[in-house]
Structure 1
Amino acid sequence: MSLTDPIKLRGRTAPSRVLFGPHETNLARRREISGRHVAYYARRAVGGAGIIVTEIASVHLSDWPYERAPLAVDAAPGWADVVRACRPHGALVLAGLGHAGAQGSSAFGQQALWGPSRVADVASREVPMEVEQTEIDALVAGFADAARLAARADLDGVEINAGQHSILRQFLSGLTNQRGDGYGGDHKDRLLREVLGAVREGLGEDRVLGLRLCCDEMAPWAGITPEHAAATAAAVAGSIDYLAVVRGSGMSVPSTRPDLHTEPGFNRELCAGIRSGLREAGAEVPVVLQGSVVDHAMAGGALESGVADLVEMTRAQIAEPNLVALVRAGTPERVRPCTLSNQRSCVRDNRNPIVSDEAEPRSGHETEDAAVEGTDAHPRDVLVVGGGPAGMEAARVLASRGHRVRLVESEPELGGALRLAAVVGGRARMGLLIPWWCSELDRLGVKVETGVEVGESDLDAAERDGVAVLLATGSRPGPRAFEAGDGVDVRTVVEFERAVLAAGSTGAALPEGAAVVVHDPIGDWTGVGVAEQVAAAGRACAIVSQDQVAGTQLALTGDLASANTRLQQAGVSRELRSLLRGVGAGKATLEDTYTGERREIDCTVLIDCGHRLPEETLWAARPQHRRAGDCVAPRTVYEAVLEGRRAALAIGAAHRAPLATTGGTR
């Protein structure tokens, strides 16, 4: 059994065993499945996905969990469009159906949340109304009606959500179900069984009914355990056509799709146990492995070893829409790695960001941006200065479109700031992108020169020879917001990580007995990761932040609580609500952001994780050339890749019409 093998479900054949699972996208128009959804899913169908489950649609008006959440009664026309776009490529298309219950939001629908009991949600702290029989009947009818709409839209079936953000999971769990009636106690699965029965009736006998089931809430004192889940799965096995095994609850929302600190494939043991239990009960229901599965070899191994019958690779296919097609073609090395950083794929927040991937910025923007594939009519010579993400992506795109590209980097190796970012504690997966880019540049014949400085005269010579120039020269340290005196070794985070690489370890880059202070005025992954890295090397460490919690921006990627737990466990002192005013004589002076009161802490090494500025010396001297990435403004890998790609496409199109570097191609 391999990834590319077909599988039959209810007489329908999926062309591969790879599932593109339901996830928030913010692609909706009002609460409809939009044209952007259609293009997004169709791109994965073209790339070989076997089953596509659309974004979970609310089955009842009482549920409006986030602003752009689809609603089943509004989604039906869009579902039909998705089917028409995906079916020619063989993919089965299923509608995700659910109700978030107490994990929803009352902000949009302006009505009380529904829940099995009056238990406040641990995230929103809101107490839901305890649903009575009237609401339960309406909920069951909502699922049935949504299934009928899915059948009319000619979908291949539906997937019912009893996992994260689901009232069905809340009914199954002792954490949230404290009822004394026929839906509580020993009958917590009653609502799930009623819903599945109603859905089958509404769907018909010839369409697929899948179930996404939480099999471990990671709260064994009262929550769903693998043992409880196995019994539930066996009880409903005769009603479903496949089972997707997931974990997590309202107390552990990020556990369902955690970031890169959690090892890929974390649900293997859980999934294997549930599948084995089903087989022992005589149920041959296909089981789906979910849980940060992003490597094709790991996915194939899970199938071959009997862990699962299908594999969900959602974030992997956001990063590489052609994943299955590349594996099928015998070129899996060309699959763009998924970093699992969640920086662009985790979009359930009040900014309403569009789902995407840092190294594939066209994901989520398929309708508005031109594809990279193709060949430009007039190939030309191009000099790309800078081998960070912006420069490498620009060189890759230019070469793939037929241009003759020379990429020059002043450092001994390609990677730029990304190479240093991957050294930061817990961020090693970010570095997977570098060898992928290097392999692609080699495959495409890009002439790469490292350890070479480019000056103004080199740019002038290129211009005289008709060579197009793209500057991707990166960033430089920004101004210090504190005074620095003698007696403290002050380093920027870039200088620190360079020393770590040169020394071969974090410990070798720091003096024995050092008292390290990490200055974190930004609050992203950098300061937290450096503090963890320093503590893991056995050095005393404190992190200084003006915020109420360390790494406040990690709330956007789902790592905030986990990061602070790791800091606590590592013994890192968190100096919160504090401004760094100065260092010297073995001390750091901190000022309380509220009271202005000052205090001192030990500090022999200060690592400054503050803002950086563009390295724009070459561009300032020759502003006629295009630029991209941090030399425009230091930001994340996503912006660097996006701008590198835009600049490359603009250079290729220059013979037709000039294109601004901030234009709309990705």
Structure 2
Amino acid sequence: MADRPSVAARDPLLEPFAIKKLRFRNRIVSTSHASMLDEGGLPRERYQRYHEEKARGGLAMTMIGGSAMTSPDSSWGGGQLDLSSDRIVPHLAALAERIHGHGAAVMCQVSHLGRRATSYAANWLPVLAPSRVREVRNRNFPKEMDDADIARIVRDYADAALRCVQGGLDGVETVTGGHLIGQFLSPRTNRRTDGFGGSPENRARFGLMVHEAIRKRVGDDVVVGIRFVIDEGVADGSDFEDCLQLARIFEREGHIDYFNCIYGRMDTDLALAEDNMPGMFQRSAPYLGKVAQFRRETELPLIHAGGIRDVATARHTIREGVVDLIGMTRAHIADPHIVNKIMRGEEERIRPCVGASYCLYKKVNCIHNAASGRETVLGHEVEPASRRLKAVVIGGGPAGLEAARVCAERGHAVVLFEAAPKLGGQLLVATAAAERRDLMGIVDWRISELERLGVDIRTNCYAEADAVRGEEPDLVIVATGGIPDTDWLEGAELCDTVWDVLTGTVPGKSDVLVYDGTGRQAAASCALHLAQQGKSVCIATPDDALAIEMSYIDKSSFRKRFAELGIRSIVEVRLEKVERRGNTLQATFRNELTGAESRLEASQIVVEHGTLPAADIYHELRHLSANDGVTDVAFMMGGEEATAPAPGSFLLHRIGDAVSSRDVYSSIYEAYRLCSKL
């Protein structure tokens, strides 16, 4: 019988590819993004380890330097690599050596922000642009560039590219979308009447000068690409046909080796969220149709990254020839070992990107991978413990599931108690909102891992002290979460909670007042859920704006849908009391600025104010534990492996919302860094 073909032989994602002399070992890359891990503009240890982990995980290429500075006047105030001086070269060399040591390639994005820079931080230099058109998002009024500015910045691009090559990188990539080259290309931002404005040829002139200068400086063998907008998706910008004409000009001039296709624009939060970096309201891989159309009209190799969250989509894109290299950038923040798992036949074990965009909010932290961006202090693979212990985890929400997983990976025998019939905790509430349903991947992946690890899962099992002690544990982790916090409110018994409404326990009435005391997704999701059912909804908050604790991607998308559905909003008011008035409820508010009192009536009032810890079992067990239930902060943040308790005793720890009301990431991070040392 013939041998079965290897995974690599039958998977298009694992086929090699080459651009010039640069050979890629497979088709999966991570594209440039602002990780915020630099130190004073330099890629030191944290930055290097973050990218090295992806190289160790098997991808073909990691691209560094999202919005890396070519010039001193290209700063948004911090969080960028600074390519404007030679001081960066030895750090690039150290990074390149690490990446190459794992068989991967590394390239850097070189860019000038143009009007996206700031005049009010870092070098405090005037912002430059093709024309005096202000960007809504970055808010600076730019100086229109003159010939001297153009000549200097073209030279800066070439110098920056040379520094990358001197540092041992495999190539460089410029970027159009929203950045200076793109500001020249787009009629939205280029109002010039000289040789740099008007016709596509004139608008392309600056970009052509940049690439010609780069090519002369780095030579013909170095790969030079362009991250290129193929459609701005707005009436007064470059549509697909205009972008295609511009692309053909760049192809004709012959100074670039590939296009990295992107869509849309980034001059507002909403444009970033829905036309450039797809968030929770966007479907997976929303721009592939346009990229396929661009493919049919151009000759150079293509890369694309844009909401490619899963291997199946990536594989289809390569198999169908839509692109040559597929960017799974946020997916690699969730799991930097994607390729190795594919090669080992463990595709089902890949930690999924759930599209939460947390990595764009708390860069570059993944909502359910605590190690991403923390490679200098946390490993992506759990180390086995020196001694096998018995661990009892109480609670099957995100904190408890992660605690059980990490303890089991350490080699401990784990029992998980969950009072509800299903695992998931508060994520079961969150995913009842349609736009947040993909968060269920956080739960599903952990359930699969717990089954693989042989964890004893007991649902419908309310843990009591005697039952816990009966397991004769060495470790007890209390991750019992919380319950909606309404104790502070006079008249709370007249109100419903977001949990009640999203789970369908309580139906929505005709007109609803939603009070958001957190600024997180819960209340906004509830308001949207009710409005989509045709209810009249008003949302009130003590904050100075809606959705204040969300990423810019989430908050802008929620606000757009509130406007579309006519959801009214009141800000800077604190709910103090709810009373019944005949067939309606009356809410009394206090203005946060003036102290003035106001009232609003509604048929139903829904309150969101975080959670109260559900920690009865913790308090019952505390006096029985060897450590009195105290988790030493210094130990959690950096201590060595914990000493096992004496026989007949156990260590007790409390994590997640059983301590205080926080978010999913906080719970998972806390579980990981504690349990990886127990």
Query: TM-score, structure 2 length as denominator?
Result: 0.89
| Distance change (3 Å), C-alpha of 1:401 and 1:481 | closer
Once residues 594 and 102 of structure 2 are traced to their aligned partners in structure 1, the CA distance between those partners, rounded to angstroms, is 63
| Aligned residue among 65, 72, 75 for 1:61 | 72
**Deviation for aligned residue 1:393:** 0.9
2:240 maps to 226
In structure 2, the CA distance between the partners of 1:319 and 1:485, relative to structure 1 (3 Å rule), is closer
Distance 1:45 1:370, change over 3 A: closer
**How far off is 1:603 after superposition?**
1.8
Letter in 2 for 1:50: A
Q: Which residue matches 1:249?
A: 266
The alpha-carbon deviation at position 485 of structure 1 amounts to: 7.5
Distance 1:540 1:8, change over 3 A: same
Pick one of 43, 60, 66 that aligns with 1:33.
43
- Asked whether 1:70 is paired with 2:74, we answer no
**Does structure 1 residue 302 correspond to structure 2 residue 329?**
no
> Secondary structure in 1 aligned to 2:260?
strand
> Matches of 1:588 and 1:303 in 2, distance apart?
58
Q: Is the alpha carbon distance of 1:485 and 1:378 closer, same or farther for their aligned partners in structure 2, counting shifts above 3 Å?
A: closer
Contact kept in structure 2, 1:59 and 1:143, CA below 8 Å: yes
Deviation at 1:93, TM superposition (A): 0.5
Structure 1 residue 425: Cα displacement: 4.3
The answer as to 2:504 corresponding to 1:499 is: yes
Matched, 1:589 2:587: yes
Which amino acid is 1:603 matched to? A
Find 1:410's aligned residue among 419, 433, 449.
419
Q: Distance in 1 between matches of 2:420 and 2:79?
A: 45
Q: Which residue of 1 aligns with 2:158?
A: 144
Size of the aligned set, in residue pairs, is: 624
**Residues 425 and 530, structure 1, Cα contact 8 Å, conserved in 2:** no
**How many Å apart are 1:128 and its aligned residue?**
0.5
| Cross-structure match for 1:362 | 371
Indicate the residue corresponding to 1:265 in structure 2. 285
Whole-Å separation in 1 of the counterparts to 2:29 and 2:492: 57
Deviation at 1:458, TM superposition (A): 2.4
Q: Secondary structure at the match of 2:13?
A: coil
How many Å apart are 1:274 and its aligned residue? 1.3
- 5+ residue gaps, structure 1, are 348-352, 501-508, 652-666
Q: Segments of 4+ in structure 1 off by > 6 A?
A: none
Identity of aligned residues (%): 28
Paired AA for residue 171 in structure 1: F
Instruction: Give the Å deviation of 1:579.
Output: 2.8
Displacement of 1:576: 2.8
- Tell me which of 211, 215, 224 is aligned to 1:209: 224
CA distance in 2, matches of 1:466, 1:566: 50
Which residues in structure 2 correspond to 1:66-465 (within 5 Å)? 66-72=77-83, 73=85, 74-106=87-119, 107-164=121-178, 166-186=179-199, 187-220=202-235, 222-237=236-251, 238-247=254-263, 248-251=265-268, 252-254=271-273, 255-278=275-298, 283=299, 285-343=300-358, 345-347=359-361, 353-462=362-471, 465=472
1:375 deviates by 2.1
Is the 8 Å Cα contact of residues 422 and 430 (structure 1) preserved in structure 2? yes
| Deviation (angstroms), 1:96 | 1.2
2:14 is equivalent to residue 4 of structure 1: yes
Task: Name the TM-score, length of structure 1 as normaliser.
Answer: 0.90
Residue of structure 2 in register with 1:604 after alignment: 603
- Letter aligned with residue 250 of structure 1: D
The CA distance in 2 between the partners of 1:124 and 1:297, in whole Å, is 37
Aligned with 1:3: secondary structure?
Answer: helix
1:634 aligns to what? 661
How far apart are the structure 1 equivalents of 2:675 and 2:266? 44
CA shift at 1:466, angstroms? 4.5
Measure, in 1, the Cα distance between the counterparts of 2:146 and 2:390: 71
Q: 1:384 offset after TM fit, Å?
A: 0.7
- For the Cα contact (< 8 Å) 2:392–2:473, is it kept in 1? no
**CA displacement, residues 255-275 of structure 1 (integer Å, 9 cap, x when unaligned):** 322321111101111211211
Deviations 1:291-323 (A, max 9, x none): 111111011111122222221110000001111
Query: How many Å separate the matches in 2 of 1:369 and 1:499?
Result: 40
Aligned partner of residue 677 in structure 2, secondary structure:
helix
Amino acid at match of 1:100: L
- Whether contact under 8 Å (2:587, 2:601) holds in the other structure is no
Offset, 1:156: 0.6
Once the two structures are superposed, residues 188-226 of structure 1 have per-residue CA deviations (whole angstroms, 9 ceiling, x without a partner) of 111111111111111211111111012222222x21211
Matches of 1:581 and 1:225 in 2, distance apart? Answer: 51
RMSD: 1.8
1:437, distance to aligned residue in structure 2 (A):
0.8
Identify the match of residue 507 of structure 2 among 505, 510, 515: 510
1:38–1:634 distance in 2 versus 1, CA, 3 Å? same
In 2, Cα distance between the equivalents of 1:45 and 1:67? 26
Q: Encode CA deviations 1:421-476: one digit per residue, 9 max, x unaligned.
A: 111341111111111111111111111000001112223334xx353211111112
